[in-house]
Structure 1
């Protein structure tokens, strides 16, 4: 008959850290049954903690703790020592070593790791949004966007969208083409969320020419015609004025510099 160990997992957050460690450890003991059904997340009151510890004592359980609150962890440790309860603190011995080496105390904020995970998933969602609503695709998405970038071709709308998405912003973009009507949904977008991108005509001509060269297209077209570019930029400026978009000149600015200016605009909205 296999031996059984009852495990109590206590945390002031979700308790995922203890579960990962427990899975790794129990895999080394195939002949032992680990009863891990007693999980206690979001414990932040001493009375509640003591009730759990008394139950663990009755069950002769192994207690695994990822409490980051030092006061609660101290209560659990003292109780376990006094009553002979098997108790494993996964956090504070590590904290003590780091503090000894650096003189820095932990912030003791439960759930910080999961907030980082949340930020990660927010970023992934924003990147998916940027791809879905790139280049004017599905304009109805503009109403869900944190930002909508407007500009003629080769004003860095797409790279800016992706860069900002990596910071968690949901960004859509729309190419401005004089011959193509603007989507009606643009009338419903908060003007503070509209960013107009321009570039000096000569610089834009060089950028477009380089783009064609990279595609193996060397024949001159209206796409790189300077007069046509002037017309496109004049049209874009009228659109920016019509919708109240903030205008940023991309000439000689990096994506990072432009993104910083846009983020400053976002801060003003909040």
Structure 2
């Protein structure tokens, strides 16, 4: 049996690096069974001197791979040239799609702006408003505000409700509230008044047990706390299942799912596109 190679993937961007990071991590997740893949984001690369320093470091970090999303032609060309000279594999993450769109439209990409920073348009301010909404209505605060929510997430503690709310706000401009389902605590009446907006987040008991145990260790609390007791977890989850069934809402299993995967599934369930409906 051959020994698994270690690999470090460096993503370079002349802006925030969010696109490069999303695409790189999506590719890495295809190799979940391989533990020796390391990811290093390098955003805000805007000068050739920075590329020189990076190439020098990468030359001593083999095996490695460069993935980039530069929008400035001069930076693209310089990086490609330096990588070739040092025999470093390099991938332009956006070029194939950009060139295909260009060919289909019969036009060249009209913009090669430095950084391609988001414009402060209406969509931008909607996202800011959505983030503020998620913070205000986090963890069951202000149930009356659920009336203005686009989505309401429900689930037991540690099912990634808060980070999923923030992701949906930042990436989809969705106003998302979340309400924890706590054993023997009745949910607010507003939850049932707006149950058409609800999505339940479920998780396998053994996965939740591991997450809660790790959480207790991080906080320096005893591992035998009822919070991480496996039997107590099953009782909590049975109670949550009954509430979710009463709400009649769709459910997403978040076990071993990345936040972006969970968010995409939630959007599909709450706002299916016409083609999506046909594919169900």
TM score, norm. by length of structure 1: 0.57
Aligned to 1:173: 178
1:185 aligns with 190
Native 8 Å contact 2:146 2:190 kept in 1: yes
Aligned ranges for residues 208-223 of structure 1 at < 5 Å? 208-223=212-227
Paired residue for 1:239?
A: 243
1:134-192 per-position Cα deviation (integer Å, ceiling 9, x unaligned): 0000111111100000000000000100010102000000000022111011121042x
Q: Which residue of 2 aligns with 1:254?
A: 258
Could you tell me which residue of structure 2 aligns to residue 62 of structure 1? none
- Once residues 127 and 103 of structure 1 are traced to their aligned partners in structure 2, the CA distance between those partners, rounded to angstroms, is 37
Unaligned runs of 5+ residues in structure 2 are: 1-101, 112-116, 275-280
Answer with 1 or 2: which has the greater Rg: 1
| Distance in 2 between residues matched to 1:120 and 1:244, nearest whole Å | 33
Structure 1 residue 115: deviation in Å? 7.6
| Change beyond 3 A, Cα 1:237–1:116 | same
Is 1:146 aligned to residue 132 of structure 2? Answer: no
Q: Does 2:242 align with 1:224?
A: no
- Secondary structure of the corresponding residue to residue 268 of structure 1: coil
Equivalent in 181, 204, 211 of residue 208 of structure 2: 204
Instruction: Write out the 4+ residue segments of structure 1 that deviate beyond 6 Å after TM superposition.
Output: none
Work out the CA distance in 2 between the residues paired with 1:207 and 1:257. 18
State the aligned residue count. Answer: 164
Gaps of 5+ in 1: 1-98, 108-112
Q: CA RMSD in A?
A: 2.5
Query: Does the aligned pair in 1 maintain the 2:195–2:249 contact within 8 Å?
Result: no
Q: Whole-Å Cα distance in 1 between the matches of residues 169 and 143 of structure 2?
A: 18
